[in-house]
Structure 1
Amino acid sequence: MASVARKLDLIDTSPAFTQADADRLNARFEGVGTAEMLQELLTTELKGRVAVVSSFGAESAVLLHMVAAVDKDVPLIFINTQKIFGETLAYRDELSERLGYTDLRVFRPDPYDLAASDKTGLRWSYDPDGCCDLRKVRPLRRALQPFDAWISGRKAFQGKTRAALPRFEIDEGRLKLNPLADWDKARLNAYFDEHRLPRHPLEAQGYPSIGCSPCTSKVKPGEDPRAGRWRGWDKTECGIHTPDGDEPVF
């Protein structure tokens, strides 16, 4: 059995895409509209190889609408950290059904990991990096195992750690697409209005960026949209979004 496990590990860690592929795609789709780019990729070379990952946050409906317009059968992955706002769970169900997704996949933290590393459920309060790794990063790795590529909803305007965000990058050997990398808030709002998409119910209550309930607070006028995430901690990312070869940015 040990030799089989070693063989599977070799297969799992073999990169499907390289940085050269990401560079080629960034050049190929420079200046191409987002909808046109998704139409081409999701119906040809990435068909059956890609999933869309969504937090069902304040701006998630735009990307999900665009992907569904091309292919409603693209697997849609949601990580339920078990610390999610109830409003987010309800919004997830409403939006995925409204857009017609046929393959919503919900992943949760491993209960054995929780029992070993967060038995009280309070790790977020003293070790948010470890909590994010346990409840977000590890479940996403399991969720992405069948795929060579995944689609993220990140945008460059969301914070200084995302300012130079490319459309295509490599993350742990997988191609990661950021179709909305160059979209600003005004453009997102216009898309919401044009397509009459439902808003996350917490957005109107002062939550422009929505994560887990213990680590998300309201944002004051003039603050960075992500100022309410991990407030009081030197932390801006959960660790899911990590440039290939870099240490995780929690």
Structure 2
Amino acid sequence: YTWTVDGVEYLGTDGDTTVHYEGANCAPDTILNITVNDEPQPIVTNETICEDETYTWTVDGVEYPGTDGDTTVHYEGANCAPDTILNITVNDEPQPIVTNETICEDETYTWTVDGVEYPGTDGDTTVHYEGANCAPDTILNITVNDEPQPIVTNETICEDETYTWTVDGVEYLGTDGDTTVHYEGANCAPDTILNITVNDEPQPIVTNETICEDETYTWTVDGVEYLGTDGDTTVHYEGANCAPDTILNITVNDEPQP
């Protein structure tokens, strides 16, 4: 404190102080009483940011960048008000958490970070979220590949036939008519497609043969020798891949009298 009476600067470190000047020629005395109070505890703000962040202090409205490194700002409190102090600690930016995902043009990807569904039709995509309070950034990199050529199985059967596809183990019936089954390939794998064409059953190839009880007949279709002693016989072979069935009808007559 500097007293205007004597121009002297009095220090708070000297503690309570009284100064008394006697007034000359009956002038009034002048007295200075200085009371020294303890310094109040400062108001301290400790803030941690990263190198790529900034902090704006409400005390002075100044924006302090992390690129300036650790910073301390000290404002002296007037009239025994507490000092205000800002301590900024700057940490290294943590490594970002990166998700790399590959999809095809006809696929989508939903990121668990933001719950957004990103379509492959948008092409390659990068999404970057800044981590708050020095948390790591989160980054999504989506690479979109061309849709691979599908694996197509074309199968022709007849109405009375079935086809079991090795892809799904399902037995498809010719009675259901023409059928197309399409499975979407996961993770950009090719789609698998089954096309079943159902043709009308062709007319069977029928062999009618008549023999006597003491005769035999060898069919060229299967090379089997059929005996007249077995009586009338019918043999039916299903034609594969919609080929006509082959049928043998053997009629056995009684042996005539000699």
- Please report the TM-score for the alignment, with normalisation by the length of structure 2: 0.17
- By relative contact order (CA 8 Å, sep 6+), the higher-ranking structure is 1
- Please report the TM-score for the alignment, with normalisation by the length of structure 1: 0.17
Q: Which has the higher helix share?
A: 1
